[in-house]
């Protein structure tokens, strides 16, 4: 991929769970660090507490990231010499993240965001689709379908090992929940 190094831009890495989004994000950010660029990495907080935590991919690679509660918190960390901003799990941020990525890129920052493009129902997920629309570069990755071994673009939600219903609440107390990658044919969303 040709990328002018002195202009800002937005790169988006999308796909279902297990497609290697975090792996690819970490790879790009580590290369920027090797190039001695000033890199900042963010991920969404589940609560309001600030913390430094690793982004960890399913194959074990990791990188330190700042956990933030709101998209606009990113601006508090940006310095004049920030060159690269990485964002993981971008689908969990509010829509304001789109404008923030645009402003950063306009200022000359290389923004790299990774996230789910579809939720477990197969519907567009949060701000990800809007980010893809305004990005210079977008990579849609696939995982492997756990049912047939074909490329998988969807995330199957399972509750007590059965496909979750369309209307099942996001938090289900007492249930065992899991996710797996599935192709269109084997992705199931009852009712």
Which residue stretch of 57-65, 76-84, 104-112, 120-128 sits at the interface with ligand ADP (rule: CB under 6 A)? Answer: 57-65
The distance of closest approach from Cβ of residue 80 to ligand ADP in the complex, given in angstroms and rounded to an integer, is 31
At residue 15's C-alpha, the angle toward residues 109 and 167, to 5°, is 120
143 burial level (CB within 10 Å; 0-12, 13-18, 19+):
buried
Q: Is 89 a catalytic residue?
A: yes
Out of 15, 44, 126, 127, point to the residue binding ligand ADP (CB under 6 A): 15
Neighbouring-strand partners of residue 62: 56
Which two structure tokens, joined as six digits, stand for 39?
A: 């890199």
The distance of closest approach from Cβ of residue 139 to ligand ADP in the complex, given in angstroms and rounded to an integer, is 11
Out of 23, 44, 111, 157, point to the residue binding ligand ADP (CB under 6 A): 23
Residues 6+ away with beta carbon under 8 Å from 80: none
Choosing from 23, 24, 89, 180, the catalytic residue is: 89
Residues 6+ away with beta carbon under 8 Å from 21: 13, 14, 15, 88, 114, 115, 116, 141
Out of 8, 10, 20, 113, point to the residue binding ligand ADP (CB under 6 A): 20
Q: Which is nearer to ligand ADP, 144 or 159 (CB)?
A: 144
Q: Does 17 bind ligand ADP (CB under 6 A)?
A: yes
Whole-number Å distance between alpha carbons of 121 and 78: 35
Residues near ligand ADP, by CB under 6 A: 15, 17-23, 57-59, 143-144, 146, 181
Catalytic residue numbers?
Answer: 89
């Amino acid at each position: 991929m040709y990328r002018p190094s002195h202009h800002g831009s937005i790169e988006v890495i999308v796909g279902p769970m297990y497609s290697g989004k975090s792996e690819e994000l970490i790879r790009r950010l580590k290369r920027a660090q090797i190039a001695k660029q000033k890199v900042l990495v963010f991920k969404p907080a589940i609560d309001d507490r600030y913390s430094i935590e690793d982004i960890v991919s399913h194959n074990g690679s990791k990188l330190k990231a700042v956990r933030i509660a709101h998209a606009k918190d990113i601006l508090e960390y940006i310095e004049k010499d920030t060159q690269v901003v990485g964002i993981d799990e971008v689908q969990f941020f509010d829509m304001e993240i789109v404008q923030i990525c645009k402003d950063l890129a306009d200022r000359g920052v290389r923004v790299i965001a990774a996230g789910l493009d579809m939720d477990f129902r197969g519907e567009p997920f949060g701000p990800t689709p809007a980010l893809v629309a305004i990005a210079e570069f977008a990579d849609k990755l696939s995982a492997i379908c756990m049912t047939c071994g074909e490329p998988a673009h969807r995330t199957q939600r399972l509750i007590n090992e059965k496909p979750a219903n369309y209307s099942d609440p996001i938090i289900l107390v007492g249930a065992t929940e899991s996710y797996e990658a599935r192709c269109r044919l084997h992705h199931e969303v009852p009712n």
